[in-house]
C-alpha cells in the first residue's frame, strides 16, 4: 500500500517454520538479497510442492484501517493463510520496506522513485498484535475458492516466496500491497475480477489523497500543491481497488464458485471485526493558516505605514515619496517575507527538482511552478535585513530594475495562473490553491513592493 505500515522484521519461530514446510509453504527470510520481481504468468513459473488436500488450506482477506502516520493513511491489505492439517497460520504481507538508513534517506529514495517494497511473512497473531498496538481496526473475511482456484493462488504465493521474487518496485497507485493481492486473486479466478470491475467512477486520485490525509492535513496540502494533472483523472473500479477498503467493499459484491447446501457463496464470507478502534481525527485546514497569518500581517502593514514627512506628492527631487513602516513594521515584514521565501523556495525546488530527477511522474510538469519559484530562496537575505536592521532596503539605479522586474514577473505569474484556471487551460485541479493562496500571495507581493524598499538618490523609482 502507498505508505503501507512497516511490520516487525522478526522471523517466525522455528516450530512455525517447520509446520509451514510440512504444508508446502516456505517462509522467506527478510534479509536475502534484493531483486525487483516481475510477475510472469503462472504457466511460466513451474511447479511447487503442494498439499495433498487443498480442502484443509484456507485463505482470508485481512484489511487494516488507516493509521495516523505518513505511510498508514491509505490503510493496508494482507493475506492470511491457514492450514488445518498442520496448524500453520501465517500472514502474507506485501508492505515491508527498509528504513534502516533513517527517514531522511528513506524520504530521498521515495522522492527519487527508488522504492523497493517486499513480501514478508509473520505469524498471524503477531501481526494482529502490532495493529492492535497501533490502534487500527482489523477486518477479516474468508475467501471462498474451489480447489483449482486455491491451487493457482498457492503456486503464485510459492513463486513470490522465492528469494529473487520477494522485492518489487513499489508504486503507490499501481503496484502496492493491495494491488498485489488483487491481481493474485484475479489470476486465481482466471480474470473474473478484472472482467467484472470495468466501469468508470467519478472519483479522482486527488480526491482520494485529500480525504485519506485529513488526519495529516499538512501532508495533504503539500501533496495537493506538489502533484500534477496525472492524479486528476477519474479512476476505474479496477483502479479504485488500490485502496484496501475499496478492495474489500468490491470483493464483498462478487459471487464465488463454491456452493454450500446447494447455495452459491459470496467470494467473501464469515466476515468479522478482529479489533475495532476509532479512525484518526480530522485535523485543521492548513490552507486556512496560510491565508489568515500572511493576509492579516499584510493588511496591518498597509494600514500602519508612516506618512511621508515631505510633500504629499513630491519631494525635492520631484519624485513621489512612499510611506514607510515603523521599525516594528519592518520586523513584521521581515518575518512575513522570511516565511514566504522559505515556503515558496522549497516548494519550487521540490517541484522543479522532481521534474528532472524523480521517478514519480505525478510530480512532473506542475502548474504550481508559476507561483512557487526556487529563486525565492534569495529573498531570505532581504527578509533578514528587514528583521534585524528594521529599515527598508535601499536600491540604487543598478539594483532597482532587478527587484522591479522580479516582483513584476511574480505578479504576471499569478495573473497567468488565474487565467489558466478560469479558462480551463489545464486538466490539473488548481481549486485549493486558487481559493486559498492566490489572494494572500498577491497581497504579500504588493506589500513588499510598496513598503520594503526605498530608493537612493538618482535611482530608478519602483
pLDDT at 102: 66
Angstrom CA distances, 234 to 1, 229, 394, 423, stand at: 20, 11, 52, 21
Which residues of the chain register pLDDT less than 50? 1-36, 310-320, 459-462
pTM of the model: 0.83
**Could you tell me the three cell numbers for 275?**
479489533
Rounded to whole angstroms, the Cα distance separating 72 from 378 reads: 36
Task: Select from 288, 285, 294, 295 the least CA-distant residue to 218.
Answer: 285
DSSP state of 378: G
Tell me the per-residue pLDDT of 183-237, one tens digit each, with 9 for 90 and over: 999 999 999 999 999 999 999 999 999 998 888 888 889 999 999 999 999 999 9
pLDDT of residue 46: 78
At 27 the pLDDT is 30
Partners of 135 in the β-ladder: none
Report CA dihedral (105, 91, 248, 197) to the nearest 10 degrees.
80
Beta strands at 76-83 and 167-169: parallel, antiparallel or unpaired: unpaired
pLDDT at site 438: 94
The alpha-helical segments, DSSP class H, found in 67-176 are: 103-112, 124-133, 147-160
What pLDDT shows up at residue 215?
86
> Residue 446: which of 410, 396, 400, 395 has the closest Cα?
410
Q: Return the H-helix or E-strand segment holding 259.
A: strand 255-260
Q: What tens digit of pLDDT does each residue of 417-432 get?
A: 999 999 999 999 999 9
Q: How far apart are CA 64 and CA 87, in angstroms?
A: 24
> CA 433 to CA 417: how far, in whole Å?
10
What does the mean pLDDT of the chain come to? 85
As a whole number of Å, the end-to-end CA separation of the chain is 53
pLDDT on residue 289: 77
Q: How many CB atoms lie within 10 A of CB 373?
A: 22
**Structural domain boundaries of the chain?**
14-197+241-275, 286-455
Dig out the grid coordinates for 224 from the structure: 495537493
Could you give the CA distance from residue 250 to residue 181 in angstroms, rounded to a whole number? 14
Amino acid at each position: 500500500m502507498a505508505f503501507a505500515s512497516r511490520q516487525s522484521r522478526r522471523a517466525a519461530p522455528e516450530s512455525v517454520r517447520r509446520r509451514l514446510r510440512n504444508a508446502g509453504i516456505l517462509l522467506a527470510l527478510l534479509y536475502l538479497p534484493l531483486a525487483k520481481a516481475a510477475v510472469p504468468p503462472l504457466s511460466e513459473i513451474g511447479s511447487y510442492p503442494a498439499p495433498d488436500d487443498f480442502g484443509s488450506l484456507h485463505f482470508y482477506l485481512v484489511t487494516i484501517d488507516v493509521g495516523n502516520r505518513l505511510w498508514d493513511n491509505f490503510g493496508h491489505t494482507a493475506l492470511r493463510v491457514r492450514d488445518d492439517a498442520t496448524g500453520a497460520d501465517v500472514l502474507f504481507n506485501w508492505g515491508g520496506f527498509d528504513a534502516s538508513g533513517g527517514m531522511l534517506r528513506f524520504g530521498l529514495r521515495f522522492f527519487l522513485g527508488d522504492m523497493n517494497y517486499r513480501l514478508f511473512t509473520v505469524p498471524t497473531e503477531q501481526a494482529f498484535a502490532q495493529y492492535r498496538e497501533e490502534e487500527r481496526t482489523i477486518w477479516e473475511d474468508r475467501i471462498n475458492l474451489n480447489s483449482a482456484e486455491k491451487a493457482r493462488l498457492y503456486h503464485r504465493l510459492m513463486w513470490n516466496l522465492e528469494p529473487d521474487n520477494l522485492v518489487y518496485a513499489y508504486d503507490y497507485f499501481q503496484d502496492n500491497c493491495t494491488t498485489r493481492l488483487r491481481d493474485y486473486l484475479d489470476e486465481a479466478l482466471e480474470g473474473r475480477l478484472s472482467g467484472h470491475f470495468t466501469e468508470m467512477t467519478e472519483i479522482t486520485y486527488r480526491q482520494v489523497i485529500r480525504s485519506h490525509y485529513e488526519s495529516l492535513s499538512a501532508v495533504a496540502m503539500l501533496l495537493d500543491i506538489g502533484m500534477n494533472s496525472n492524479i486528476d483523472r477519474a479512476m476505474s473500479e479496477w483502479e479504485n481497488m488500490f485502496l484496501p477498503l475499496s478492495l474489500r467493499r468490491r470483493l464483498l459484491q462478487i459471487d464465488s464458485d463454491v456452493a454450500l447446501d446447494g447455495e452459491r457463496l459470496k467470494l467473501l464470507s464469515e466476515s468479522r471485526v478482529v479489533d475495532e478502534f476509532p479512525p484518526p481525527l480530522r485535523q485543521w485546514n492548513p490552507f486556512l493558516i496560510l491565508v489568515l497569518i500572511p493576509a492579516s500581517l499584510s493588511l496591518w502593514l498597509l494600514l500602519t505605514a508612516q506618512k511621508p514627512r515631505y510633500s504629499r506628492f513630491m519631494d525635492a527631487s520631484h519624485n513621489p515619496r512612499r510611506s514607510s513602516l515603523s521599525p516594528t513594521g519592518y520586523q513584521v515584514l521581515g518575518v512575513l517575507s522570511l516565511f514566504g521565501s522559505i515556503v515558496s523556495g522549497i516548494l519550487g525546488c521540490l517541484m522543479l527538482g522532481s521534474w528532472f530527477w524523480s521517478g514519480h511522474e505525478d510530480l512532473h510538469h506542475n502548474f504550481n511552478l508559476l507561483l512557487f519559484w526556487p529563486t525565492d530562496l534569495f529573498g531570505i537575505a532581504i527578509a533578514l535585513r528587514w528583521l534585524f536592521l528594521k529599515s527598508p532596503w535601499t536600491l540604487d539605479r543598478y539594483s532597482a530594475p532587478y527587484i522591479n522586474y522580479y516582483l513584476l514577473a511574480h505578479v504576471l505569474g499569478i495573473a497567468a495562473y488565474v487565467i489558466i484556471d478560469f479558462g480551463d487551460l489545464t486538466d490539473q485541479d488548481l481549486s485549493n490553491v486558487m481559493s486559498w493562496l492566490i489572494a494572500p500571495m498577491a497581497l504579500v507581493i504588493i506589500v513588499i513592493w510598496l513598503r520594503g524598499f526605498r530608493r537612493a538618490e538618482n535611482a530608478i523609482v519602483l
